[in-house]
Amino acid sequence: MFARTSALVFLPQCGQVRNMATLKDITIRLKSIKNIQKITKSMKMVAAAKYARAERQLKPARVYGNGAGALYEKAEIKAPEGVANKHLLIGVSSDRGLCGAVHSNVAKAIKAKIANLTGEGKEVMVVNVGDKLRNILQRTHGSYLLLSCKEVGRKPPTFTDASIVATELLNMGYEFDQGAVIYNRFRSVISYKTDEKPIFSIDTVANSENMGIYDDIDADVLRNYQEFALVNTIYFGLKESTTSEQSARMTAMDSASKNASEMIDKLTLTFNRTRQAVITKELIEIISGAAAL
Amino acid sequence: MMAARFLRRSLPVLRQARCYADAPSGSAQMSFTFASPTQVYFKEASVKQVDVPTLTGAFGILPAHVPTLQVLRPGVVTVFNDDGSATKFFVSSGSITVNADSSVQLLAEEAFPLDQLDVARSEVGTEPIGGFGREEKNSSSTLLHHGLQETVEGAPPYTHRRDSSGEGGKLSSSAYTSQTN
């Protein structure tokens, strides 16, 4: 009997303490989630504006980038197979997060390629454009990093940015034979795909079989042409990447806002129920207390 | 090392012995793409002829031209459309590719239609105003002005150096072709 009464006495206290505490807790939680929802909504609008601008600038950049790659396609330039050639991978991403799987997709593609190429015994080096990529790759593949570029993603990329990257890369003196620019190709507002565009060294192009049909080329012209083509490919990768990144950020912030509003709805219901329960409990106490008098 | 690289690279040139051109196997239409990083002027359009200023001299390209790769220097590109009209553009630098299937890709770092340029204003830019930022603008306007001058008067070829300016402005002096002289 003692055990029963003590148990009866014990429970309401526990229940009361729990309710009072949770009412304040719920209020605090509700306020913080509402603030977060405001932030994600505004980030979504900013990303939408940046995405609109990036997509507009992407149209001419696409024609430009495809024109730059036309020589490699039409002349079917390939590096000689079977030779231990040196590869260069340029991963294009940005500094800022909260944009879904953009950075990890590029990093995954780079890691897969490194595994492939080192398995075949070829030498690989990686150039990062974007701090987030460096963070992902540095821990496991730090020895492959040749060059890392920061301050990418705050403003829309220009041709000058691409030329700075290419200049630094060429000044590093890594004599690569072939390589690729790995970027996220923009397909639509909700989808993008990690893709790559090939780059070749001057020697590979000069020694390629189909180059014989191109008239009147000397070493200087070819070198200038190749450097320009490298900048063009990097520029194309940058433009596509920024557009994909902004659309991914827009989608991510949109779903974050939706999740936040779902949580707010649930919490508001819980809050109201808890409030009513507390009031009912007090009423019952008062009534039963009055009845006891 | 540089000499050895040049020698190695000059071999392919020796391999292509000059001979009479083969009968053109390309299509009769030229697919002409002319773009700058920020704007597309022609996209796979069919035009009659294109005149381009290159580092080795100016030449005109007709459909079924011999495939070649060239690097542009500052000057005027003239496009002769199928209907006979001609449009002129000023280009700062870039590259041109003529492929075997008669497709031409003209990629200019900066390109403007001539009517958008004011020669008088570019002259004003060349006066030394002083201050570091102004000097950079100075040099890019000088580049442009010299290019324009040659266009108008036919001055001797201007060899431009590789500048990497941080400005992303319209007349930034990032003439990309690195001509080592």
Residue A207 and residue A96 share a domain: yes
H-state helical runs in A75-141 = 102-119, 131-141
3-state DSSP helix/strand/coil % of chain A, to nearest 5: 70, 15, 15
User: Which residues span the domain enclosing B150?
Assistant: 118-172
Among candidate residues B115, B142, B158, the one where a domain is terminated: B115
Give the per-residue pLDDT at A267. 93
Q: Is residue A54 part of a domain?
A: yes
What is the DSSP secondary-structure string of A84-101? --EEEEEEE--S---STT
Q: Is residue B137 part of a domain?
A: yes
Tell me the average pLDDT across A162-191.
91
Give the pLDDT band of residue A200 (cuts 50, 70, 90): confident
Other beta carbons within 10 angstroms of residue B54's beta carbon come to 19
Residue B149 and residue B80 share a domain: no
pLDDT tens digits, B71-126: 998 999 999 988 888 999 999 989 998 888 888 999 998 898 888 777 666 654 44
pLDDT tens digits, A14-61: 444 554 458 899 999 999 999 999 999 999 999 999 999 999 999 999
Residue A240 and residue A276 share a domain: no
Give the pLDDT band of residue A175 (cuts 50, 70, 90): confident
User: Which residues span the domain enclosing A278?
Assistant: 26-43+252-288
Residue B108 and residue B75 share a domain: yes
Please report residues of B whose CB lies closer than 8 A to that of A207.
12
Give the per-residue pLDDT at B15. 53
Optimal mutation site among A72, A165, A224, A233, interface B, most CBs of chain B within 10 A: A224
Please enumerate, as own/partner, the contacts of A25-32 that have beta carbons within 8 Å and a separation of 24 or more.
Answer: A26/A267, A26/A270, A26/A271, A26/A274, A27/A271, A29/A267, A30/A264, A30/A267, A30/A268, A30/A271
Give the per-residue pLDDT at A182. 94
Other beta carbons within 10 angstroms of residue B50's beta carbon come to 22
Q: Is A139 on the interface with B (CB under 8 A)?
A: no
Identify the CA nearest to A44 among candidates A253, A261, A255.
A253
Residue B108 and residue B51 share a domain: yes
Structural domains counted in chain B = 2
pLDDT tens digits, A55-97: 999 999 999 888 888 888 887 777 777 676 889 999 999 999 9
Q: Is residue B178 part of a domain?
A: no
Q: Is residue A10 part of a domain?
A: no
Beta bridge partners of A237: none
Optimal mutation site among A200, A223, A230, interface B, most CBs of chain B within 10 A: A223
Residue A257 and residue A245 share a domain: no
Residue B102 backbone class (left: φ over 0; alpha: ψ -120 to 50; beta: rest): left
Amino acid (1-letter code) at residue B61: I
Residue B128 has pLDDT above 60, yes or no: no
Tell me the average pLDDT across B15-35.
68
Tokens standing for residue A88: 């260069």
A251 vs A192: CA distance, rounded Å:
12
If DSSP codes are grouped into helix, strand and coil, which group holds residue A187? coil
Give the pLDDT band of residue B165 (cuts 50, 70, 90): very low
Q: Do B68 and A68 touch (CB under 8 A)?
A: no
Tell me the average pLDDT across A273-287.
93
Residue B101 and residue B62 share a domain: yes
Q: Is residue B181 part of a domain?
A: no
Angle subtended by helix axes A102-119 and A219-292, to nearest 10: 130
Q: Is residue A4 part of a domain?
A: no
Residue B135 and residue B63 share a domain: no
Residue B53 and residue B92 share a domain: yes
Displacement of CA A125 from its chain's centroid (Å):
22
Residue B147 has pLDDT above 50, yes or no: yes
Q: Is residue B61 part of a domain?
A: yes
Q: Is A271 on the interface with B (CB under 8 A)?
A: no
What is the DSSP secondary-structure string of B76-119? EEEEEETTS-EEEEEE-SEEEEE-TTSEEEEEESSEEEGGG--H
User: Would you tell me which residues 119-158 of chain B have a C-beta closer than 8 angstroms to some C-beta of chain A?
Assistant: none
Q: Is residue B153 part of a domain?
A: yes
Residue A209 and residue A95 share a domain: yes
Residue A258 and residue A238 share a domain: no
pLDDT tens digits, A98-142: 988 999 999 999 999 999 988 888 889 999 999 999 999 999 988
Dihedral sign computed on CA atoms, order A147, A151, A153, A158: negative
ipTM field: 0.74
Domain CATH code at residue A274: 1.10.287.80
Residue A35 and residue A83 share a domain: no
Which of B6, B71, B106 has the CB atom closest to A219's CB atom?
B6
Task: Quote the mean pLDDT of chain A.
Answer: 87
Domain CATH code at residue A161: 3.40.1380.10
Residue A266 and residue A184 share a domain: no
pLDDT tens digits, B40-55: 998 888 898 999 998 8
Residue A244 has pLDDT above 60, yes or no: yes
Please report which helix (H) or strand (E) contains residue A129, including its range: strand A123-129
A211 vs B129: CA distance, rounded Å:
48
Residue B107 and residue B122 share a domain: no
Give the per-residue pLDDT at B18. 67
Q: Is residue A19 part of a domain?
A: no
Q: Is residue B102 part of a domain?
A: yes
Q: Do B43 and A63 touch (CB under 8 A)?
A: yes
Give the per-residue pLDDT at A263. 96
Residue A160 and residue A80 share a domain: yes
Q: Is residue A262 part of a domain?
A: yes
In chain B, the residue whose alpha carbon lies closest to the alpha carbon of A234 is B37
B125 vs B134: CA distance, rounded Å:
9
Other beta carbons within 10 angstroms of residue B68's beta carbon come to 20
Give the per-residue pLDDT at B129. 38
End-to-end CA distance of chain A: 26
Residue A55 and residue A109 share a domain: yes
Q: Is residue A267 part of a domain?
A: yes
Residue A68 and residue A153 share a domain: yes
Residue B141 and residue B95 share a domain: no
Give the per-residue pLDDT at A259. 96
Residue B29 DSSP label: S
Q: Is residue B9 part of a domain?
A: no
Amino acid (1-letter code) at residue A100: G
Residue B159 and residue B83 share a domain: no
Where is average pLDDT lowest: A274-283, B27-36, B40-49?
B27-36
Answer for the pair B74, B146: CB distance below 8 angstroms, yes or no: yes
Q: Is residue B4 part of a domain?
A: no
- CB-based contacts of B106: which residues, under 8 Å, 6+ apart? A67, B32, B33, B34, B35, B50, B52, B72, B77, B94, B95, B96
Q: Is residue A3 part of a domain?
A: no
- CB-based contacts of A55: which residues, under 8 Å, 6+ apart? A186, A243
Residue B56 and residue B132 share a domain: no
Residue A142 and residue A270 share a domain: no
Give the per-residue pLDDT at B151. 53
Residue A262 and residue A187 share a domain: no
Residue B84 backbone class (left: φ over 0; alpha: ψ -120 to 50; beta: rest): left
Amino acid (1-letter code) at residue B123: E
pLDDT tens digits, A206-224: 777 777 778 777 888 888 8
Identify the CA nearest to A260 among candidates A38, A2, A26, A76.
A38
Domain CATH code at residue B50: 2.60.15.10
Other beta carbons within 10 angstroms of residue A146's beta carbon come to 17
From the CA of A43, how many Å to the nearest CA of chain B? 26
Structural domains counted in chain A = 2
Residue B75 and residue B42 share a domain: yes
Residue B89 and residue B143 share a domain: no
Please report residues of B whose CB lies closer than 8 A to that of A64.
35-37, 40, 107
